[in-house]
Chain A
Amino acid sequence: MSGTFNILGVGILTWITFLPILGMIAILAIPSGKDEISRARSLNYFRYITLGITFIQLILTLVVYSGFNFSMPGINDASSMQFIERVTWISVTGLPMLGDLKIEYFLGIDGISMPMLLLTAIVSTLAVFASWGIKKAAKGYFAMYLLLVTGMMGVFVALDFFLFYVFWELMLLPMYFLIGIWGGPRKEYAAIKFFLYTLFGSVFMLLVMIALYFAVGSFNMFDMMDPSKFDQNSILAGFGTSWRYIAFAALFVGFAIKVPIVPFHTWLPDAHVEAPTAISVILAGVLLKMGTYGMIRIAWPMFPDAVQYFNWWIGLIGMVSIVYGALCALAQFSVGKRDLKKMIAYSSVSHMGYVMLGLAALNTEGVIGAIFQMFNHGTITAMLFMIVGVIYDRAHTRSLDDFGGMANKMPVYTAIMTIAFFAAIGLPGLSGFVSEALVFLGAFKTYPVLTVISGLGIILGAGYMLWALQKVFFGKLPERWSGPWDPTGKIYKNDDINYIELGGLVPLAIVVIYLGINPNPVIGMMTSSVNHFVELIRIGGNFAGM
């Protein structure tokens, strides 16, 4: 069932991508309300519309998943992509210099986009629960939120480079406002830093995209992956030329900023610390994956020769990110404001390093591990940020010094947090273990030394996670929290986590536990794609190091 799958004559991927835009229009059409009662009513409309839209999107994604053919590889083969939708979008002929400009509206998925699609649908649905407490300018918030979801979905389904770029940039705008308006004390700084940093990265991507366009004559990704389609006079033609290396490096930096990998990561802690909970969840859960997704979808298949050339360095960067991120996370206990959220932000840097290490392995175990790690990091870190949000909403502080002894006050919350933290540590039986183990097993085959050093990340990871767990939950409850969180009982009826928050966390916990025991549902859909991918890069790059 790889053909088209239409609803009302429109392809299902288009529905998934643009449904949030419909929701956004609906939200914008509803007045915010003037008095308190009507404002509260509108707020509820906004929430439920957003939740409904994202939920329908999740259902549609599951429909796609149920019709997804696990054995079709995709990657550089347009004929084995699935759920293809292809129409000409912009077509101008006879331009001076450019010749014929043709940009297609070209959507489709393979085993690498499918997990990301699922992840995006799951995380964006559940993050709505974390947005429940948004009161300030709720209309704008939920409208922006839905626009953001469209941008993210679009990135994962676009097969035309130009279209990809459009979605990539589209997502920046709402993100900027979501951090800049609904963020914490230094929100403007964080928002601008995020925006400029990512924009800086996209400039590189844009340059390479244009260079590739001149070499190939279209924005079609598959043409760009096919060496025979290159104009022989173009600077990017051939193999192993320095121009190709430069182009790859530029593209790599463009994506690396998004991942983010050391040393392009400093926007991340600021953005996370300042962003509202739901946006941190989206940021860590989905946005970071776009960087590595871009590498797998675009940079790697287009420049396999350059991958070969730079591979050791990519592995090294992965290792540095793992260890460095973990050390910086651990540093949150001894320096600065001891911000729990900042610690988790740095742990993200560390965990995304595993993805890079797995990619550098360039074998089946490593790459499957890397993509699975992307998925798992998405779910686990989403949990972590929601968890921080829960305590921050109540205590209005995130400093580890202010906590202790919460285990008796909030037992259910403690249980959920323990699951999430141990998943982040990579405890077997939870999904993080499978992906980390695969990454290590794969990477060890290619770079044993880098892998063993990266293993330090496991110990350091256990260090900061358990430390945080201890600081928040164990020991004695500070005097200031001995009473109920909310003496009026209006917002929080009891001290433990409430049902809305559980609504966001429990499904994620179930996913994390289930995939830890049976990873087949996610690993199964990527195997044929990844094997094809590995073969493509190794043959295309004439990978001698294996």
Chain B
Amino acid sequence: MSHDLLLKISVVILFLPLLSFLIIVFNQKRLGKAAGIIGTSILGIDLVLAAIVAFNKFVVYPNEAIIQWKFHWFSLGNRTIDLGLGVDNLAAMMLIVVTLISFLVHLFSTEYMSEDKRFPRFFSYLGIFTFSMLGIVLANNLLNMYIFWELVGLSSYLLIGFWYEKDSASNASKKAFITNRVGDLGFFAGIMIAFFTFNTFMFDEIFSQIRSGVLPFESGTILTAMGILLFAGAIGKSAQFPLHVWLPDAMEGPTPVSALIHAATMVAAGVYLTAKIFPVFTADALTFVAYTGAFTAFMAATIGITQNDFKRVLAYSTVSQLGFMVMSLGVGAYTYGFFHLVTHAWFKACLFLASGSVIHAMHHAMHKLHDHHSDPQDIRNMGGLRKTMPKTYLTFLFATIAISGVPLTSGFLSKDGILAGTLAFGNLSGHWLIPAMAFISAGMTAFYMFRLTIVSFFGDFKTEIASKTHENNTQIVLPLVVLAILSLWVFYSFNPIDASSGWFAKAFKPVETVVPAEYQFDFMMPYHDAHATESTEVSHGSHSYLNKFEEELHHQHYTAMFLSLAIAGFGILLSFIFYYYKKVDPDKVANSIKPLYLLSYNKWYIDEIYQKTFIGGTILLTKLMFWIDTYIIDGAVNGVAFIWRIFGTFVGKFDNGVVDGLVNLSGGVVGFSGSIVRKLQTGRVQTYLLLSIIGVILLLWWLF
């Protein structure tokens, strides 16, 4: 397959979901239930095409960095604004992830959403979301990335707010969009710095310019700032602290949506962006990214322990796992960060869809019992679902095992690599806090995931509703099975305890940083650059390493594995002791550490803090501004008008009194004399005659 054909197919892959959107959105009434079939089959075609493209990229062109196509969007006369798309290994893998999960979610939704009155619209939204997400995947430049980034924001807004009659849903969608916008502002500021410096948006051109020594404002600090600002986009989209608050609320959307965008694709976009721009991160930027990820992973894990809403636990687990990925990229374990993105996509989608299956079943059971008040998502209403929903239970259990990092699963492979990376980073840079937080979070992940499983699936039915549930049909179960199978280790590496020998690690070799040596960690500099004179050190034993970090990561592998196994095992064990064997009462433990429990239960009060500070502050500011506008600026205008009116009144008085007075005076004098004279004007001829006679007599008398 030629480059040209590959790109053409990629364009088709990109636009097919948009076609699905357009077909469905303009024929909602006509299509009805057929919309689901149309959407699913279009995505099926898309999946096949994506598989073809990915196969070609990995098999035919494995060593070409990127196959891309650039074109002029519009011209500004002396320069042009270019767009384009490209397929590199990352994109090829992501094409599979996005199209497969989107396809499974489409399939799942044909059953899950079948009773919704806006069924066709849901599928049209899924179409536009998939289109936007594929746009991000195929972007080979920052502008494209930003365009589709925002479109993803729009489609997630539409999907989260799909049940807009609920205030909580429409609030959540608004919150998601605006929180993302905050990150996007940083992202766009980074793009502005990049465009200002390099006059291009293309990733490869930016990298090669930095490599040749072009720095923004000729300063490494600004390069760091550019990296962090671009990463701010990822903070928003991948729900990193401090912009993670939208993701748990976004669970108000239908559950397939949660699986599609809040587990597997949209939130992964931030990690994907970070991976794409990985070469431009300086030492400081990497440290920032690593700490952001580590703290997010830790914080979200602590919150996940105490939540009672089925989906909310999963949401915080997502935030935590995203933190892992970001942290992994930050410490330089590029391969494993992306690896975890892929593995997490499968098992988290599986978890979400399984939760959808449970909620669907609970909902039906409630319907049968005419119960409209219970919360179908509260795990305290479940229990014993293992018996009524065995297939869902098994897939869910397997995904839980994977996310907890138990061997023979994909999650073990990727998480193990990440933990080794953090250890290596801690060892080389001295930032030991990062591996510490990482390992604790890994343990907590195992704990709360098993808590969720045990409370909802094991034991006895806690309510009548739970006992009345039953397994869902194929459209719902099939996606679960597919995703659970994909969480097996064999798909990534035949060695179940070390991914580095598998095809995945080979296809996603660590990338070289392009940052000048003075702004980068020594251990991140490629050997052929940093140690050009000591070229003998390039090869160490049987492996050849890109840089010192890779070497160290390899050395830390077994340490990390044993540590993580121990800590995950401990977490799982604890979970069983608390919730399955009930040796210890969790409520008592919670009471003994009340403040910590409340901190976790109330999500570290972050929403409340934001409400009080940012939102409250903004509202106060708007009020102040409007007050200024009304009373000071407009007040000044009206005041000027008022002064002129007073002046006008005064002038009017002057005019009436003095100027007009004089006029009236002369008029008055004339009038007065006239009023005297007019007495003579009787209108009687006789009087006139008499007067004229008198006049004549007087005249005569005067004459003579």
Q: Please give the residue numbers on chain A whose beta carbons come within 8 Å of chain B beta carbons, in ascending order.
A: 193, 196-197, 262-263, 265-267, 324, 327-328, 330-336, 364-365, 368, 405, 407-408, 422, 427-429, 433-434, 437-438, 440-441, 444-445, 448, 451-452, 455-456, 458-460, 462-463, 466-467, 470, 473-476, 518-520, 523-524, 527-528, 530-531
Q: In the bound complex, do residue A330 and residue B165 qualify as a contact, i.e. CB atoms below 8 Å apart? A: no
Contact status of A368 and B76, CB under 8 A, knowing A330-B618, A330-B622 = yes
Q: How many Å lie between the Cα of A437 and that of B171 in the bound state?
A: 28
Name the A residues within 8 Å of B147 (CB-CB). 428-429, 433
CA distance A368 to B75 in the complex (A): 10
Closest Cβ–Cβ distance, residue A454 to chain B (whole Å):
10
Contacts A334-B622, A444-B196, A459-B181; A524 near B74 (Cβ below 8 A): yes
Per-residue 0/1 for B148-164: is the Cβ within 8 Å of any A Cβ (1 yes, 0 no)? 10110010010001001
Given contacts A364-B77, A427-B151, A523-B74, whether A459 and B625 have CB atoms under 8 Å apart is: no
- The 3 A-B residue pairs whose C-beta atoms are closest, nearest first, are A331-B626, A428-B147, A527-B77
- Residues of B157-215 contacting chain A, CB below 8 A: 157, 161, 164-165, 167, 169-171, 174, 177-178, 181-182, 184-185, 188-189, 191-193, 195-196
Q: Which chain B positions have C-beta within 8 A of A408?
A: 165
Given A324-B625, A331-B626, A433-B147, A459:B77 Cβ within 8 A:
no
List B contacts of A474 (CB < 8 A).
161, 164-165, 167, 169-170
Distance in angstroms between the alpha carbons of A441 and B146 in the assembled complex? 13
CB neighbours (8 Å) of A333 from chain B are 622
Give every chain B residue within 8 A of A473 (Cβ-Cβ): 164
Residues in B with CB closer than 8 Å to A364 are: 76-79
Please give me the residue from chain A that is nearest to B626 by CB atom.
A331
A to B CB contacts below 8 Å, 13 in the list: A193-B641, A265-B633, A266-B634, A335-B626, A364-B77, A427-B154, A428-B147, A440-B192, A441-B191, A466-B174, A474-B165, A528-B77, A531-B77
Task: Determine the chain A residues whose CB is within 8 A of the CB of B629 once the complex forms.
Answer: 266, 324, 328
Q: A327-B621, A335-B626, A458-B184 are in contact. List 13 more A-B contacts (CB 8 A).
A: A193-B641, A328-B622, A332-B626, A334-B623, A364-B78, A427-B151, A438-B76, A441-B191, A460-B618, A475-B164, A475-B165, A476-B165, A524-B75
A427: contacting residue among B150, B161, B618, B621, CB under 8 A? B150
B626–A365 contact, CB under 8 A?
Answer: no
- Asked whether, in the complex, the Cβ of B151 is within 8 Å of the Cβ of A429, the reply is yes
Residues on the A chain within 8 Å of B637, using CB: 193, 197, 266-267
Which B50-85 residues have C-beta < 8 A from chain A? 73-79
**Contacts A364-B76, A473-B164, A475-B170 hold; do A263 and B633 have CB atoms under 8 A apart?**
yes
The answer for the CA separation of A438 and B74 in the assembled complex, in Å, is 11
Closest CB in chain B relative to A465 CB, distance in Å = 10
A455 touches B622 (CB 8 A): no
A232 to B623, CA, bound (A): 52
- Contacts A330-B622, A364-B79, A452-B189 given; indicate if A462 touches B178 (C-beta within 8 A): yes
Residues in chain B near residue A334, CB distance under 8 A:
619, 622-623
| Nearest-Cβ distance from residue A417 to partner chain B, whole angstroms | 13
The answer to whether A445 and B196 touch (CB under 8 A), given A427-B150, A433-B150, A523-B74, is yes
What residue of chain B has the Cβ atom nearest to residue A517's Cβ? B73
* Complex alpha-carbon distance, A196 and B645, angstroms: 13
Report whether A441 and B195 are in contact in the complex, using a CB–CB cutoff of 8 Å: yes
Identify the B interface with A (CB < 8 A): 73-79, 143, 146-148, 150-151, 154, 157, 161, 164-165, 167, 169-171, 174, 177-178, 181-182, 184-185, 188-189, 191-193, 195-196, 618-619, 621-623, 625-627, 629, 633-634, 637, 641
Q: Report how far A531 CA is from B75 CA in the complex, Å.
A: 12
A331-B622 in contact (CB<8A): yes
- Contacts A444-B196, A466-B174 given; indicate if A527 touches B75 (C-beta within 8 A): yes
The distance in angstroms between the C-alpha atoms of A364 and B622, with both chains bound, is 34
- Quick check: A475 and B154 within 8 Å, CB to CB? no
A133 and B189 CA atoms in complex are apart in Å by 46
Contact A467 to B151, CB < 8 A, known contacts A266-B629, A459-B181: no
- B interface majority secondary structure: helix
Residues B623 and A335 in contact, CB atoms below 8 Å apart: yes
Known: A330-B618, A331-B622, A427-B154. A266 touches B633 (CB 8 A): yes
User: A440 to chain B: which residues have CB within 8 Å?
Assistant: 188, 192
Assembled-state Cα–Cα distance A324/B143 (Å): 28
Q: How far is the CB of B23 from chain A (nearest CB, A)?
A: 16
Contacts of B171 in A (CB 8 A): 470
CB-based contact A463/B178 at 8 Å: yes
Contact A451 B75 (CB under 8 A): no
Could you say which residues of chain B place their CB within 8 Å of the CB of A466? 157, 174, 177-178
Shortest B578–chain A CB gap in Å is 41
* With A405-B165, A527-B75 as contacts: A428 and B148 at CB distance below 8 Å: yes
**Which partner residue on chain B sits nearest A323 by CB separation?**
B625
A residues less than 8 Å from B74 (CB atoms): 434, 518-520, 523-524
Q: Tell me whether B164 and A407 are in contact (CB under 8 A).
A: yes
* Set of chain A residues within 8 Å of B618, measured between Cβ atoms: 327, 330, 460, 463
With A364-B78, A520-B74 known as contacts, the answer to whether A455 contacts B154 (CB < 8 A) is no
> Would A422 and B154 be within 8 Å (CB), given that A328-B622, A364-B77, A459-B178 are in contact?
yes
Evaluate contact between B625 and A451: CB separation under 8 angstroms.
no
Q: Which residues of B contact A331 (CB under 8 A)?
A: 622-623, 625-626
Question: Which B residues are in CB contact (< 8 Å) with A524?
Answer: 74-75
Distance in angstroms between the alpha carbons of A58 and B662 in the assembled complex: 60
Closest to B143 in A: A437
With A441-B195, A470-B171 in contact, is A428–B150 under 8 Å at CB? yes
Please give the distance in Å from B195's CB to the nearest CB on chain A.
Answer: 5
Interface centre among A422, A438, A441, A527 (most CB of B within 10 A): A441
Residues of A contacting B78 in the complex (Cβ-Cβ under 8 angstroms): 364, 531
B634 surroundings in chain A (CB, below 8 A): 266
Chain B residue nearest to A326 in the complex (CB): B622
Find out whether the CB atom of A523 lies under 8 angstroms from the CB atom of B623. Answer: no
Which residue in A327, A330, A527 is a CB contact (below 8 Å) of B76?
A527
Q: Report the minimum CB–CB distance from B155 to chain A (whole Å).
A: 11
Residues of B within 8 A of A327 (CB): 618, 621-622, 625-626
**What residues of chain A lie closer than 8 Å to B633, measured between beta carbons?**
262-263, 265-266
Instruction: Report yes or no: A455 in contact with B185, Cβ–Cβ below 8 A.
Output: yes
Bound-state Cα–Cα, A438 to B184, Å: 16
C-alpha spacing A428/B83, complex, angstroms = 13
A503 CA / B569 CA spacing, docked (Å): 66
* A470 engages B174 (CB within 8 Å): yes
Listed residue (B192, B193, B196) with the most chain A CB atoms within 10 angstroms of its CB: B192
For A405, A456, A475, the residue with the greatest tally of chain B CB atoms inside 10 Å of its CB is A475
B189→A455 contact, CB < 8 A: yes
Which residues in B have their C-beta under 8 angstroms from that of A531?
76-78
Chain B residues within an 8 Å CB radius of A427: 150-151, 154
User: What residues of B have a CB within 8 angstroms of the CB of A528 in the complex?
Assistant: 77
Q: A493–B476 Cα gap in the complex (Å)?
A: 43
Pair A444/B185 contact, Cβ less than 8 Å:
no
In the complex with contacts A266-B637, A527-B77, A467-B622 CB distance below 8 A: no
Q: CB-CB < 8 A to B150: which residues of A?
A: 427-428, 433
Look across to chain B and name the residue whose beta carbon is closest to the beta carbon of A519: B74
> Closest Cβ of chain B: how far from A368's Cβ, in Å?
6
- Chain A residues, CB < 8 A from B622: 327-328, 330-331, 333-335
A327 to chain B, nearest CB (A): 4
Q: CA separation between A368 and B623, bound complex, in Å?
A: 34
Find chain A residues with CB under 8 A from B73 CB: 519
- Residues of chain A contacted by B627 (CB below 8 angstroms): 335
Nearest-CB residue, chain B, relative to A408: B165
Cross-chain contact B76 with A365 (CB below 8 angstroms): yes
Chain B residues near A332 (CB, 8 Å)? 626
B-side contacts of A405, CB under 8 Å: 165
Q: How far is the CA of A368 from the CA of B74 in the complex (A)?
A: 12
By beta carbon, the residue of chain A nearest B632 is: A263
User: What CA separation (Å) do A460 and B623 show in the bound complex?
Assistant: 14
- In the complex, what residues of B have CB within 8 A of residue A460's CB? 618
